[in-house]
């Protein structure tokens, strides 16, 4: 599954979100107290821009007049019709067994790991070119930040 760097950890603060375009798909990446989650930015109800919606929590009542507010910032409400989804699972709040939005795996990786993954054979010529007689001087590069990476399956 291809991995896409969507930004640094610092670009998406706790309680924040970033909407990115990956392989023709709009995806919202959310930071819930240092844990990152990615959802398709399309409400299953009527295709609204789900990830631009309001974030809230869960309000439950055990007895009349007794309320418990929990999970602040973990429930996403579609801006078009108010359908609610759990950011952690993608499940709808009203029918979690049948209605959900697509979730994508997210990881946080150090820049050095990303650099090592992309290096390949440094002596190989670019695709379609032949190795020439001259070699440019190169220097070691390090990337020291933490990056948010989303795994998106290839489209068929």
135: in domain: yes
pLDDT over 70 (residue 78)? yes
Q: Of 84, 3, 94, whose CA–CA distance to 50 is shortest?
A: 84
Domain extent at residue 72: 3-151
Query: Backbone phi, then psi, for 50, in 5-degree steps?
Result: -50, -45
Residue 129 within any structural domain of the chain = yes
The model's pTM is: 0.76
Q: Which residues pair with 25 in a beta bridge?
A: 22
Burial classification of residue 60, based on how many CB atoms lie within 10 Å of its CB (0-12 exposed, 13-18 middle, 19 or more buried): exposed
Sign of the CA dihedral with 37 first, then 26, 109, and 2 last: positive
Answer whether residue 115 shows pLDDT above 60. Answer: no
Asked whether residue 15 is domain-assigned, the answer is yes
Write the DSSP assignment of 2-69 as a string of letters: -EEEEEEGGGS-TT-EEEEEETTEEEEEEEETTEEEEEESS-TTT---GGGSEEEEEEEEEETTEEEE
Inside any domain, residue 54: yes
Quick one: average pLDDT of 23-38? 95
Kindly state whether residue 64 falls inside one of the protein's structural domains. yes
SS3 call for 133: coil
Which residues on neighbouring strands pair with residue 55, listed in sequence order?
A: 76
In the predicted model, what is the mean pLDDT of the chain? 85
pLDDT at residue 96 greater than cutoff 90: no
Is pLDDT of 130 > 80?
no
Quickly state the pLDDT bin for 71 (edges 50, 70, 90): confident
pLDDT value of residue 128: 62
Q: Report the share of the chain in percent with pLDDT over 70.
A: 79
Give me the CATH number covering residue 123: 2.102.10.10
Q: Quote the number of domains for the chain.
A: 1
Residue 156 resides in a domain: no
Q: Is residue 100 part of a domain?
A: yes
Mean pLDDT of 128-134: 67
Residue 112 lies in a domain: yes
């Amino acid at each position: 599954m291809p991995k896409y760097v969507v930004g640094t950890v610092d670009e998406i603060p706790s309680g924040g979100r970033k909407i990115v375009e990956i392989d023709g798909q709009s995806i919202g990446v959310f930071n819930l107290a240092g844990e990152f989650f990615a959802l398709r930015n399309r409400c299953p109800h009527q295709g609204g821009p789900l990830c631009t919606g309001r974030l809230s929590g869960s309000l439950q009542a055990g007895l009349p007049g007794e309320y418990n507010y929990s999970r602040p910032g973990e429930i996403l409400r579609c801006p078009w019709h108010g359908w609610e989804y759990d950011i952690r699972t993608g499940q709808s709040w009203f029918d979690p067994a049948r209605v959900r939005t697509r979730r994508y795996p997210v990881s946080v990786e150090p820049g050095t790991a990303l650099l090592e993954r992309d290096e390949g054979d440094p002596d190989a010529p670019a695709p379609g070119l032949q190795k020439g007689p001259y070699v440019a001087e190169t220097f070691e590069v390090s990337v020291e930040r933490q990056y948010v990476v989303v795994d998106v399956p290839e489209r068929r």
